[in-house]
């Protein structure tokens, strides 16, 4: 895999490892404390947020180079049961709308995804990254149509804040996987006029990494 220093450069790399004060898994994270996860009691939608390690300030996830690695990691994790319905890649974190039947299914799928993506990125930069992600991912159970709608609006509209004009033509999110009618319902303030050739190019990707919603609430919102 050919390197591209402009897309995956690293800064502030630490020295050699070894025993030292404060080493090992911290009891808490700056963003997410190590408390018990909420229990998933049925097949339902979950909003997951996965952040890069704070020191990796030079890695931008919104690049074609990283998106290729993201796709590979998702395909690997699908074999472990990960069901990503929608996604959005931000500069230093990922937003995922996932379906899971229980905590074990979600945990196995996320572990497979995070580990696969870490290995791909590490290989890409010749093993210079010891740790890619922060200790824990953030998650929230979406237990009503209103919560799902708000989460989808946040995840898929979030990148628009970086653009000069309102649009849903964001190629680093899964918004193009939605039908025009669903987009108008969820984002009435956004203009949506994708050219047919763009939709045609996105369809194989949709089948490759996205899971069709199976939970009742997600199907209700996305239909």
pTM, full prediction: 0.80
Distance CA 155, CA 182 (A): 15
What is the percent of the chain with per-residue pLDDT over 70, rounded to a whole number?
78
Question: How far apart, in Å, are the Cα atoms of 86 and each of 21, 133, 173, 182, 206?
Answer: 41, 20, 8, 13, 10
pLDDT of residue 75: 94
Q: In the chain, pLDDT over 90 holds for what percent of residues?
A: 46
Say whether pLDDT at 100 is over 80. yes
Is a pLDDT exceeding 60 seen at residue 123?
yes
Indicate whether 106 pLDDT > 70: yes
- The Cα-based distances of 168 to 21, 103, 159, 182 in angstroms read 48, 32, 9, 12
Domains in the chain (CATH in brackets) are: 44-221 (3.30.70.1290)
User: What is the pLDDT, as a whole number, of residue 119?
Assistant: 92
Per residue in 153-187, pLDDT (tens digit) is 999 886 666 666 655 568 889 988 888 788 888 88
CA distances from 148 to 3, 74, 102, 114, 172 (A): 39, 22, 18, 24, 20
């Amino acid at each position: 895999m050919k390197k591209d220093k402009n897309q995956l450069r690293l800064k502030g790399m630490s020295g050699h490892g070894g025993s030292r004060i404060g080493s090992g898994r911290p009891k808490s994270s700056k963003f997410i404390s190590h408390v018990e996860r909420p229990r998933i009691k049925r097949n339902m939608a979950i909003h997951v947020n996965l952040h890069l390690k704070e020191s990796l300030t030079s890695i931008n996830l919104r690049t074609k180079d990283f998106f290729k690695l993201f796709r590979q990691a998702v395909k690997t994790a699908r074999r472990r049961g990960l069901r990503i319905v929608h996604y959005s890649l931000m500069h230093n974190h990922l937003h995922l709308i996932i379906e899971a039947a229980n905590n074990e299914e979600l945990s196995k799928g996320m572990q497979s995804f995070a580990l696969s993506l870490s290995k791909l990125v590490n290989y890409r930069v010749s093993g210079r990254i010891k740790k890619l992600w922060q200790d824990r991912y953030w998650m929230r159970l979406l237990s009503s149509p209103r919560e799902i709608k708000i989460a989808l609006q946040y995840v898929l509209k979030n990148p628009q804040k970086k653009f000069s004009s309102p649009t849903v033509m964001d190629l680093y999110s899964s918004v193009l996987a939605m039908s025009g009618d669903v987009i108008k319902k969820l984002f009435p303030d956004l203009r949506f006029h994708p050219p047919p050739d763009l939709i045609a190019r996105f369809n194989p990707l949709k089948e490759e990494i996205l899971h069709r919603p199976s939970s009742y609430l997600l199907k209700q919102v996305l239909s």
